[in-house]
Amino acid sequence: MIIGERLRALREEKQFSQGDIEKRTGLLRCYISRVENGHTIPSVETLEKISRALEIPLYQLFYEGKDVAAPPKIRKTPTWGSGGKEARLLRRFCTLLSRTGESDRQLLLHMEGKMADQKPVS
């Protein structure tokens, strides 16, 4: 899929001119033309502006089907410290860290950085 062609098709489907998109996004009309003709590739932030101007969700810029795509199923995995013994340990650690001075925090961060750089012992 070429994003410029898709943007032009959606814009024309909504019966908006490039000038309308310019007014709604603040992007220059010549930039919109360059995107639609494949001379430049827009950033994600620019695509967000254009999707708002076209009054469509961002994913529709990349989805060509007529039916709404089902959102992906995300498995919720428990995070460390979200419950039980780990949560108590994390809470205690946060309490102790809040009592440390700035120099001690800097020392801890330095030590953490050194430990993260080390290769694990086999």
* pTM for the structure as a whole: 0.54
Domain positions in the chain = 3-61, 91-117
On the question of pLDDT at 51 being above 70, the answer is yes
Share the mean pLDDT of the chain. 85
For residues 112 and 107, give the distance between their C-alpha atoms in angstroms, rounded to a whole number. 9
Over residues 16-45, the pLDDT tens digits come to: 999 999 999 999 999 999 999 999 999 999
> What architecture does CATH give domain 3-61?
Orthogonal Bundle (1.10)
On the question of pLDDT at 88 being above 90, the answer is no
